[in-house]
Structure 1
Amino acid sequence: MNTEKVANHIINWLKDYAENAKVKGFVVGVSGGIDSALTSTLCAKTGLPTLCLEMPIHQGINQVNRAKEHITQLKENYKNVCSEFVDLTPVFESFKSAVPKGNSEAKTDLSLANTRARLRMTTLYYFAGIHGYLVAGTGNKVEDFGVGFYTKYGDGGVDISPIADLMKSEVYQLAEFLKVPVSIQKAQPTDGLFGDSRTDEDQLGASYDELEWAMNEVDKGKLTKDFEGRKREVLEIYTKLNRANQHKMKPIPVCEIPEILK
C-alpha cells in the first residue's frame, strides 16, 4: 500500500464531503485505540475544525492515558484540533439503576456493554449538533464488513466512515506513517466496553491478522473444507461471526405493503 497516497486520498475525501455537506468540521470519539487515533489524525490533517471527544465509562487507566497522549500530540501539531472530556460513568450507573437486570447474567453484561457504546454515540451527536460537525466513524473493514464487531447504533452510528475500506493491517501502516503515538500502535486492541482487561482477540477468538486472512480467503471463494487445523478453525470463526452479524451490515428490513392493499 502506498501509505502517503492513501492518506492524502482519505484527507481529500473528508474535506470534499464536509464542504459538499456544508458542515464545519468533525467530531471523533478518541478511546486510546489505533482506529480512533488514525481517524482523528486524518480529520485533523484536513485543516477543518476537529473535536476529539473523550467519553470514559469505567475506563482502564492505560486506555485513558493513551487517549490523552494522542490528543495532546494532535493539539500540539494541529491548531484546528480541540478536545472535550465527558465522564459518562455517572450516566451509565444511573441507567443501570433505572432498568431491571435480565435473567441471564451474560446477556445483561453484553446489553450493558452495548449501552456504553450507545451512550457515547448520543454524546458524539450532541456535540456534532451544537457545533455543526459530522460524526466520523472509526470502524475498519474487518470490523465493519467482516465480523460485524461493533455496536449497532453505538460505534456503528456515524455520519461518515473514513477508514472502513482499510484492513486492520493497513490501519497500522497508516498510523505508523502519520506518527500516531507508539504506545497506541503497540497496544492490544480492545473495545473497552466491559470494564475489564479482555481484548478484541479474547472476544472474537482470533487475531485481526487471522480474521483479515479469513476475509480474503472467503472473498476468493474458499470454504472451511479447503483448510485444516488452525486455518480451518479461524475460517469457521470468521464465517460464524459474519453470518450472525449480517443484521448490522444490511439495510434495515422494511415491510413493503403491496399496492393492492393500499
Structure 2
Amino acid sequence: MPYSATFNTEQVTNYIVNWLSRYAENAKVKGFVVGISGGIDSAVTSTLCARTGLPTLCVEMPIHQAESHVSRAREHIASLKERYSNVSGTLADLTPVFETLRQQVPVTENRHLQDLTLANTRARLRMATLYYFAGINSALVAGTGNKVEDFGVGFFTKYGDGGVDISPIADLVKSEVRELARYLGVPQSIIEARPTDGLFGDDRSDEDQLGASYDELEWAMKAMGEGKTENDFDGRQKDVFNIYKRLNAANQHKMIPIPVCKIPENLK
C-alpha cells in the first residue's frame, strides 16, 4: 500500500509532469537526460520526463553489469520509444573506463573498503557521463532517487547518483513509486524485480545491503516521524527501526548541505 491512503496516481503524475515542464522552461533547457538502470525508479522517472513532450534521452551505462539489469533497461527504453516520439536512447559502455581508472589507483588490504569505494566510483563515472550528455543536448539531469533513499537512509552515492539537477520522485516512497509505475505502464518485469543499485557487478539487492526491505524502511521512516523510539517496538519491528535509525544517522552527511567554515567578520 502507498505511504498515504489518499495517494492519487493520476493527480500525482500530472503534478510531477507539470512541475518538470515548468522547471525546464524556466531553466531555458531543451529536455532531460536520465540514466536507465533497469530498475523501477529510473523507469518511472524517465516516463514522467517523457510525458512532458520534451526531448528525453535515456542513457545505458553498463559497468560489468548483470545481464538481468541490461535486459530490463533495454526493454524499458524500447517500450518508452514506442510510446513517446520525444524519447531517444543511447549506450555508453563504461566498463573500459572503469577498468582504466582501477588500474591507476592503489590496492588496499581492506577488501571491503576497496569494493565499496569502487562501487561508488561506478556511480560517479555515470554521473559525469550523464552531465556530458546533458551538456551537449542543453538538458537537465533528472535524478531517480526516492524519498527513503534520498532522505531516509541515504542510500545513494554522494556526487554519484546523488549528483543531479532535479529530483522528480524524491518526495515519493517506494510503494508510491510502484503505484506510479503501474499507472504509467512500466514493464511488469521491472515492477517485479528486486531493487538493486547495480554497483557491484552482481545481482545483490538493496535489501541485501540495507538489511531491510523498502516496505519495512517506509514503516520505520513514518514511525520515527511520529516520534516513536525503539522502545515502542520489539522483535523484527525493533530490528528494522534500529536499522533505519542507524543508517539515517550515519548518512546525514549526504542529506544536509556541505558544511562551510564561516569566518568571523573580525578576522576578515
Q: Do they superpose with TM above 0.5?
A: yes
**CA distance in structure 2 between the aligned counterparts of 1:196 and 1:171, rounded to whole angstroms:** 24
**CA distance in structure 2 between the aligned counterparts of 1:103 and 1:224, rounded to whole angstroms:** 36
**CA distance in structure 1 between the aligned counterparts of 2:109 and 2:67, rounded to whole angstroms:** 31
Residue 103 of structure 1: how far off its partner (Å): 2.8
Alignment partner of 1:213: what SS? helix
Q: Runs of at least 4 residues of structure 1 off by over 2 A?
A: none
Identify which of 190, 196, 203 aligns with 1:190.
196
1:20 maps to which residue? 26
Residue 106 of structure 1: how far off its partner (Å): 0.3
**What's the TM-score, normalizing by structure 1?**
1.00
The answer on 1:55 being equivalent to 2:61 is yes
Identify which of 184, 188, 212 aligns with 1:178.
184
2:148 maps to which residue? 142
The answer on 1:238 being equivalent to 2:244 is yes
Alignment partner of 1:16: what SS? helix
**CA distance in structure 2 between the aligned counterparts of 1:74 and 1:45, rounded to whole angstroms:** 10
1:152 maps to which residue? 158
Residue 211 of structure 1: how far off its partner (Å): 0.2
Alignment partner of 2:200: what SS? coil
Identify which of 73, 76, 91 aligns with 1:70.
76
1:4 maps to which residue? 10
2:116 maps to which residue? 110
1:38 maps to which residue? 44
**CA distance in structure 2 between the aligned counterparts of 1:207 and 1:79, rounded to whole angstroms:** 36
**CA distance in structure 2 between the aligned counterparts of 1:197 and 1:73, rounded to whole angstroms:** 23
Deviations 1:133-179 (A, max 9, x none): 00000000000000000000000000000000001000000000001
**CA distance in structure 2 between the aligned counterparts of 1:205 and 1:185, rounded to whole angstroms:** 21
Identify which of 91, 94, 103 aligns with 1:97.
103
Identify which of 184, 204, 212 aligns with 1:206.
212
Alignment partner of 2:34: what SS? strand
Percent of counterpart pairs with the same letter?
Answer: 71
Deviations 1:188-237 (A, max 9, x none): 00001011121000000000000000000000000001100000000000
Residue 101 of structure 1: how far off its partner (Å): 1.2
Specify the code of the residue in structure 2 equivalent to 1:244: A
Aligned residues: 262
Identify which of 243, 251, 259 aligns with 1:253.
259
How large is the Cα RMSD of the aligned pairs?
Answer: 0.4
**What's the TM-score, normalizing by structure 2?**
0.97
Gaps of 5+ in 2: 1-6
**CA distance in structure 2 between the aligned counterparts of 1:16 and 1:54, rounded to whole angstroms:** 26
Alignment partner of 2:89: what SS? strand
